């Protein structure tokens, strides 16, 4: 226990994990503004070491973890869709203390041991990178797909790299020239405004992190195209959803995703996350870390716990 807040105690089937490094996500910033009404320890992007675990094969392993914890009994859990369990807990987001602390607990089934070749700084991106790979689980993307990513922040740059590796025709629209230089280095086309673009994209992914992203996406997607929403905000402005009906748009929400392709991409260096780290803070500088992550143009802020 530190500062009067008790350390978590692992329940049946859970491991106690000593957190070494945690990432600040846009969702964490929205939680600070009241999103989900969460009370407790936030943080869901982490790397840690298992300190207590009934499964000796996992003891002492360096791990990352999936954040959704289903009840294990309902129809969704029985069909391996724990992410949508009505009674689920979500690490640092819903009913479960998260990673901005020295320790957290997660079920064994949520944990993924890390190879030595993936550094802590890279591994902390496993959860958001998995969320980017979820897009390829939801829609078919190939060389004939005309795709657009809205947003050049933390998630937008990950989604852009994942889609670029799928060989589609890709354009990223952002606001920050310094972030766009990361795309330029990888040969990914970009621009700083949607002005002059018509409804020409088969797929538009909203990673803007702001309430107006959906409206912009609807301006750019072709009739019978697909819009994927990655943005979650505490308050969302009303978009003209009549356009979804008139243009027969497929509108998909997209949240968490598969860890295995994300970890494989990190291990093989197919996705470069190193330039995304803006600054690393120590645990006792946590409030400064959140404030810094809230500034425009800042990419990934990390908090070193141990």
Total residues belonging to the chain: 306
Does residue 231 sit in the same domain as residue 298?
Answer: no
In a domain, 260, yes or no: no
Distance of alpha carbon 213 from alpha carbon 216, whole angstroms: 5
Does residue 277 sit in the same domain as residue 181?
Answer: no
In a domain, 63, yes or no: yes
Does residue 54 sit in the same domain as residue 35?
Answer: yes
In a domain, 264, yes or no: no
Closest CA to 72 of 13, 126, 152, 24: 13
Give the model confidence (pLDDT) of 133-151 as tens digits. Answer: 999 999 999 999 999 999 9
Domain count, the chain: 2
Range of the domain at 109: 14-125+273-304
Does residue 195 have a pLDDT over 90?
A: yes
Average confidence score pLDDT of the chain: 92
Report percent pLDDT > 90 for the chain: 78
Give the model confidence (pLDDT) of 211-220 as tens digits. Answer: 889 999 999 9
> What's the whole-model pTM score?
0.91
CATH number at residue 79: 3.90.180.10
Does residue 74 have a pLDDT over 50?
A: yes
Work out the pLDDT band at 4, boundaries 50, 70, 90.
Answer: low
- Give the residue carrying structure tokens 């243009």: 247
């Amino acid at each position: 226990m530190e500062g009067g807040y008790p350390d978590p105690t692992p329940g049946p089937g859970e491991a106690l994990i000593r957190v070494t490094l945690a990432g600040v996500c846009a969702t964490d910033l929205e939680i600070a503004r009241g999103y989900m009404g969460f009370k407790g320890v936030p943080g869901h992007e982490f790397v840690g070491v298992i300190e207590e675990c009934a499964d000796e094969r996992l003891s002492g392993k360096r791990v990352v973890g999936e954040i959704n914890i289903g009840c294990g009994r309902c129809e969704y859990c029985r069909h391996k869709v724990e992410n949508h369990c009505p009674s689920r807990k979500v690490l640092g987001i819903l009913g479960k203390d998260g990673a901005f602390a020295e320790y957290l607990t997660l079920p064994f089934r949520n944990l993924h041991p890390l190879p030595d070749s993936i550094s802590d700084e890279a591994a902390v991106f496993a959860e958001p990178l998995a969320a980017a790979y979820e897009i390829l689980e939801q829609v078919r993307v190939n060389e004939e797909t005309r795709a657009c990513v809205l947003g050049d922040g933390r998630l937008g740059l990950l989604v852009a790299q994942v889609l670029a590796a799928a060989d589609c025709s890709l354009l990223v629209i952002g606001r920050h020239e310094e972030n766009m230089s990361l795309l330029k280095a990888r040969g990914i086309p970009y621009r700083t405004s949607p002005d002059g673009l018509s409804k020409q994209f088969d797929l538009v992914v909203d990673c803007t992190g702001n309430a107006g992203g959906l409206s912009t996406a609807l301006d750019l997607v072709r009739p019978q195209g697909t819009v994927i929403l990655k943005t979650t905000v505490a308050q969302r402005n009303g978009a003209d959803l009549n356009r979804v009906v008139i243009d027969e748009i497929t509108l998909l929400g997209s949240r968490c995703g598969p860890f295995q392709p994300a970890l494989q991409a990190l291990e093989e260096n197919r996705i470069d996350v190193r330039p995304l780290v803006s600054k690393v803070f120590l645990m006792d500088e946590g409030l400064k870390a959140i404030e810094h992550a809230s500034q425009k143009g800042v990419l990934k802020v990390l908090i070193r716990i141990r």
